Every structure is written in C-alpha cells, then in structure tokens.
Chain A
Amino acid sequence: MTIAATDRVLSVTLRIARFTPKPERAGRRRGGSPFGSKSPFGGSDAGARSNRVRGKRWTQDYVVSAHASDSVLDCLLAVKREQDPSLAFRYSCGHGMCGSDAVAINGTPTLLCTAKVRDWAKPDAPEYANEDGFRPTGEPLDSSDRAIDLDALAPGTPLVIELAALPGFPTRRDLIADIDPMLDQIRRLKPYLQASGDLKTTPNGKVDAFEYLQNPDQLKRYELLSNCIACGVCEGSCPVYAGGEAFVGPAAMILSSRFLNDSRDGAGAERLAALMAPDGSAACQSVRACSMHCPKGIDVGEELWQTIQKVDAAKAALK
C-alpha cells in the first residue's frame, strides 16, 4: 500500500514561536565569537554580553493548505511565498542531506524537510490532553504510530503543528538557532583523520597501493557514523547538553567515535584521552533521547555507550 492513494489535502495551522532580535545600539553589536574580546564590529564590552538576545517574542499562527505527504518545510516555504516573507528559518537542500533545518516540531527536535504533515499534525483543541490535564509532548518512535488516523478524525477537526527553534541553543531569530557551540565542540575533538601515512609496500619497498587499504568489514565499523550531517538534532534532544559547556555533546562524540572506529586512524589513544575530560564521556547520562530522531538513523545513544566503555577501559588501564 503506497501513501499516494491516501494522500489528501488538509488545512493545518502552523503555530510558530517567533522571535525578532532587538536592533542593536551602536557599540553593542554582536560579533560571531562569543569569546572574542576584540570585536571588529563593536566596542570592548562584547565579552560581557549575555548569550540571550533581547528582542520580541510571540506566537504566530499561519493556516496552510497542504497534502498529507508534504513536508513541513514545504508548508513553511509556502508561507514565505504567500503569507509572510519575514518568517526566518534555515533550509538548503530540502531532502535531509545538508542538515540546515533542525527545529523543534511539537517540542521534538527533527528536520523540517523530512517531517511530513501526516506525521506531525495533531488535533488543535484545548481538550487534547490526558486525564491529568497534561498535553502529550513526546512522540512515539515509530512514525506510523505517530501519524494521526485521518479517517478517524471528525470532519473539520482543526489540525496544528507547533514549531520552535532547536532547543539547547540560543535562538537568534524565529526558527534560527545559533549552533556555533556545537561546531566549536566538534572542532575541539580534532575531527579529522590522523593516519600514519604508511602505504602498503612490496617486499622490496616499492609502494604497492597508494590509498590506505581498508577492507569492507573495517569500513562497516564506522561507515554509518561517518554519515552524520551535524544537524544538531541529537544535541537538541539531550537533556544534559541543554545549557552548553558542561557536556561536549553527542554530535562531537559521534564524530570522535567515527575516527576511533576507522582502521586508518592512528590517534585512538589521544581521542580517548580527550574524552576523559569532565565534559567528555563522563558527562553523558545515557538518557538516549539523542537516538530518537537522528535523520541518518544512527543509534547515537548506543554508539556513545560503546565509546564510553572504551574510554573507561582506557582510563582503567592508566591506573
């Protein structure tokens, strides 16, 4: 059964947590570096500013008409074209490869372009709550369970999708979050191949293969990890990461794990040592929320657990 047969046009409200930064006064402009004391863009007080930008926050509803199989990104692009060109959200490739468009949909971090209306629209009614009066926020793992049964809904039931910027990071404007902290943390863990440089040679010393040899089984040990697109969904899902510097974060650790598992890499000991720092593997609390919506299907929590065990073993060996 394909979905095309059941595809239908729905009227959906996009409920968006909006934010417009307050125009900056001269001498208090924001630079890109949160640490830089000498900013080319403003005065010497740059280091003192808070990470929380001042500005106007409000919630805005847009009603769109969408196919059940359309992506939430399709809906937002229609809003930009037809209703409000000032709405800000990052997007680029539109098919889950570039990693630009991680946001919170109904409170859950995921990508706009891979999220389908049919999977995320929910009845828009104040009574949509359980008997204790709590509105459900988390979403079940299986997307077919998450999808509402369109046939079971009373005709005319209003539908809503709630959108907010990726949690765990400062919001800059509307759905745009500042993920620089994640990229800085990724950079700290030396996220590049550190190979010995030795090539396979013949018995008389001639180079026999110019590439570093790696058999398919060795490739398999890190191939999935190397598919990480650094979108930040795992970071936004992590309750420890929220808040920043205390935990280097699942994305940086996944990239470190990628190289730990790459047979070509010779810096394993240093990588494990770097993860022994207090913000490294010890900060992970194995909540495993990071696994829930990885767009590349990486079981982030399990991979981190594997790496943590390696770090612990290396630590024990040091004693």
Chain B
Amino acid sequence: MTATGRIDADVCIVGAGAGGAVAAAELAEGGAKVVVLEQGPHHDADRFSARPIEMMTALYRDGGQGVTLGTPPIVLPLGRGIGGTTLVNSGTCFRTPAAVLERWQREYGLHELTVQALDPCFARVERALSVAEVTPELAGANAAVARRGAEALGWSHGYLRRNASGCVGSGVCAFGCPTSAKQHTGITYVPRAQAAGAEILTGAQVHRVLVRDGRTRGVQASLDGGGGLHVHAPEVIVAAGTIHTPLLLERSGLGDSSGQLGQNLALHPATGAFARMEEIVDMARGVPQSFYIDEFSAQGLMFEGVAGPPSYVAMSLPLTGARHAEAMADYRRLAQFGLMVSDSSRGSVRSFAGRPLIRYDLVEADLARFRTGLARMRELFEAAGAREVYLPLPHGVAPERARPRDLKLMAFHPLGTARADARPTHGVVDGQLRLHGVEGLHVADGSVVPSSLGVNPQITIMALATRLAYHLLSRPCPS
C-alpha cells in the first residue's frame, strides 16, 4: 500500500473510518474510480493481544489519552487506522432517533433527512454489518447485574443491537476484537471497496484539498515512506473525523465562511460506576456493552454497559491506595455500568502547532445531569444487591454536591465541528453534505452531525455516507 506521484480518480476519500470506508465501498461498487487516503496503518488481527495497555498504544491516537482543555479535562479516545474508531468502539448500533431528525429539520433546515428518507440507508448499513441484538447468554453476568437492578426499579431497559457476527464475548471490544467478530469498517466495507477496484493508501497525510475557481481539483498529500502525492479528482470526500476534518479544511482555507468551522463540538461525556457484588461477575466474560437503560433518556441520560479485563478496571476504578488494592483483589465480584450524557455543552477544535487543540467546558445543565445520573447509578447497583458501590467521585463527595473538577470523565462520539445546515451562513455543509460554496467537496463523518444524538453515532454516520455515495452516483439508495 505505497505509491508516489500522481493518481487520477473520480473520487478521493480522506479517511477510512465510519464515513470514508462506507462511501468508498458504495462508490467503487457503483462504478467510480476511488482512492482512499488513510493516515493510520492497517491493523492485523493476529497482533490483537487482549492486553489493554499494549492495544491502546497500537490502535488509538495518542495511546487513547487525548484530552480536552477545560473544566473538567476529559479523556477523548479516538481510533487510528483502517476502520477508524469503528475498530475500537463497543459496536453499539442505534438509528438516529426520530426526535433528533425532527430537530434537525426544525433548527437546521435539513428537511431531506427524514426517518423515511434515511430508512433504506440504515437498512443497507445494518445488513452490511450484521447488526443484531445481543443475547442474554452472550451479554454475561455484568449485564445481568444491571438488568436485575433495572427490573427491581421498574426502569426501561433492553439488550443492545451490535454489529457483530460470531461473537464469543471476548470482552475486549475496545482493544481489538481477537475473533474479528465485530464488523468494523476495516473488515467489512474496506475489503468490499478493494474488491471493487478502490485503491487504499495507508500512512497518507493529506495536507490540503485543492480548489480552483470554486471547483474541487483533488488533494495534496505525503506518504509515510517519503514522497509527495497528488490525487486529481473532481470529487473529494473528507472523512477524517470530527476532530481532524476541521483542521484539514482550515489548512485548505475552506469551509469557514459561516464562522462555524471547528465550532459546535458536541460530545457524549461519560463516566462509569463500579459495585462489589456477592456473586462472581467476571465482567470481561461477555460483551462489555450489551445492555442499556433508557428510562431517563428524555433527561439526556443514557446508561450503557461497560466492562473490561483487570488492567482496564485498575485504571478506571475510582479508589486509591489500600482501598484500590482491596477492591482489585476482589475483581471477580466487581460489576460496572456506564453513564453517558447527551450534552448541552459545546466546545471547539482548532489547530495548535499542527495538532488539534480541543476546548470544552461542562455547562451547569450537564453537571446537573451527571449529579442525577450518578445518584441513579447508586440506586441501580443497590437495587441489584451490591455490597458496596464505587462512584467516580473523590472520597466523601456526594453526587448532589459534585463540582465539575470532581468528575472523572471520558468522552465519546465527538460530533458537529463542520455541521450541516441548509443555510450557508449557519453551517459548513448542506443537507447533501456538500461544502457550502465549493463544487465537488463533501464531508462524511461525525463532524457534519449538527447536534448531540443521545445514542452511539456510528450507524448515523454510515447511513449519511451511504446516502452521499448514492447521491454522487445519481441513484437512489436501494431499499
């Protein structure tokens, strides 16, 4: 996968994650000559060791320790390489909620993005990824603990739908699936694209998108092995992800006529609580994210399973010293569940010395959501029969008194930094994901999603990329 010089293509795609890989396969199978430039490497599943620290270094940007600047600082893990973050996510698949699509129509003028219009795109993605509900047996004992608590409290819950086929519950979805059961884009859409003739180049750093007279001409890149590369293409799809797409557009001097480029960053700030149970849980045996509780989703709170091997728990467990060691000695009886907030806070991304600088401060409304959510998590585990509950707060701090700096947060699902809005004065791309004011330049990743979804976004991004591909092929998406 190396090349130098000049390549001519119908479509050049920057990034092989959730958006880029899907667009590449659909376009190549539709007869287009496609070139994909991916900054990261191809990951060989033979090297997946089920050891979190080793795998984080290999599969994540900055070893999974990228952090936002603000109060509180939030760890924002992002995948890198063929498959992008789909390689390291939990595999959860939710369609875009109808209420969110209605909001997009109302607030952003995206009238074409209706439930009906997107249905064939979602169905196509779900078929390609073998999306199915997790069975209780595969979900494991960690999910059973949460289910027991939710049932005792009468909270709405269910098993999640995931893109997995032949899963045996290895428990390390976030660290490289050793069975290749998780149907990430690197083993689904990318091989399809290659089989249809697409050229996939790894280690390709795209410097600029080239535009002349308001028309896209291609991209300028360099390759890890040395040498420059010009891809000449009348259509370019930028799919470098919510954090890096605005930086590429900024470097290219494009997309900021509205002043919205790099703004409106939405995240799902999240945290996890632990409980010490009477029974053996062995949380890493089973699907880590297999069960959800949506009782409080209208309040912006979503509870989803999370779990992992001892080393992962050792890093996440909100205890120190002897208490940490004592709880870890009882690892087999530890259960964990996650809390994800649909945020009102908005951040920004800009370039600093060539790297993304992410600014994000938690607003009062989101702090209130975390206070409520953490109190609910305590209720959940107590209802499930926990001997002890460990909330991610400093010792002695009750949820209702938590301050932003007390929260130990991670964030997932960054969205919105090149948001879609029908009005050129308010958004970076239009409803067809075309950059306002430039012919032939499109964006197909989380950056176009104009608001928080409240659910995991991977198949929203994939459905939008599918729709874009068929738009460029001038055909309707097959139903």
Physical interaction between A and B = no
